[in-house]
Structure 1
């Protein structure tokens, strides 16, 4: 879907309703995360199209830290546009039924691991944390816009083998304690959260 296309109303409204439900029912661990949660909900209340890249200047995205808890490692992708090691993730698409599905789809596509499972609470995948950051997803010559990222934890089977996709410059497993230098605080916080939740 291009930046100017509008998703089908039925699919969009279902995904929008799920995002509101998921964020309304999630209880973050600290006040900063709680403020982000409220900001995301305010965004969704104002924008029925708020989950798609066509929604500017901000839109909801979904991502997942792919971890192998048995080995104490996380899979990161070297993003070609950003030049940093990041978790798997990206934009929601019209076929995504909910935020968790969007995060899992991105994680499977970018990791090459088909049997990932999102970390759940009470039988339902739940966000691990939220992160708001500026990007240029509309193109290098376009103004920056804001990603309101909803971040999950994806569990890989012990010893899982990753397969690099065309969306990545590199794809590697890293020990929790040996993350690469080219990672930002958001990735490090997400990995720490994954470690805490799966340890």
Structure 2
């Protein structure tokens, strides 16, 4: 097995029971290949909702391909050693913000249909929270059309499915894990 695969199985086994978690564990029963986009039945991805240091705003990206506002994240890579590390790497790459602090426990698992490599697939997205340092300045990456900070009651449109439902658990999780 691989460290990333072993971590995914451990994190999801220990995490609270819910249908998406159970479906993702069933996907992982196929072995380490389920961590990567070439797996035909779908694959595990990692994302993060970025909060500002005061927990007053969230950083969302206008995804360049699907043209919806969403949290940052994406595919796991062979060099990733954990889901949390993959989520932090993706958030750092896509936000351009150095010094993000990851809260190590997931807040959500979402399964959604996507087109990957030109074929239908499913992302089993394990979602985390990261907190930006004071004075953080975002930098748009090649994967986003735009980045923006938004207050929870003033979210942009159109939002990706399940993005809004991340905010309350993200704020609660960050408050339980202060810096």
Same fold (TM > 0.5): yes
TM-score with structure 2 setting the length: 0.92
CA RMSD, Structure 1 to Structure 2 (Å): 1.4
- Superposed displacement of residue 71, structure 1: 5.2
Residue of structure 2 equivalent to 1:41 = 25
Residue of structure 2 equivalent to 1:155 = 131
Specify which of 72, 77, 90 is matched with residue 93 of structure 1. Answer: 77
* Greater strand proportion: 2
Equivalent position SS for 2:166: helix
Equivalent position SS for 2:65: coil
Equivalent position SS for 1:107: helix
Specify which of 160, 165, 168 is matched with residue 144 of structure 2. Answer: 168
Specify which of 160, 164, 167 is matched with residue 184 of structure 1. Answer: 160
- Superposed displacement of residue 39, structure 1: 1.1
Residues 97-150 of structure 1: per-residue CA shift (max 9 Å, x gap): 11111000000000011100111xxxxx111111000111213xx3x2100000
Residue of structure 2 equivalent to 1:122 = none
Partner Cα distance (1:185, 1:17) in 2: 29
Size of the alignment, in residue pairs? 175
Choose 70-79 or 100-109, whichever is displaced more: 70-79
List structure 1 runs of 4+ shifted beyond 4 angstroms: none
Residue of structure 2 equivalent to 1:31 = none
Unaligned runs of 5+ in 2: none
Superposed, 1:1-199 pairs within 5 Å as: 13-27=2-16, 34-70=18-54, 72-119=56-103, 125-139=104-118, 142=119, 144-199=120-175
Higher Cα Rg, which structure: 1
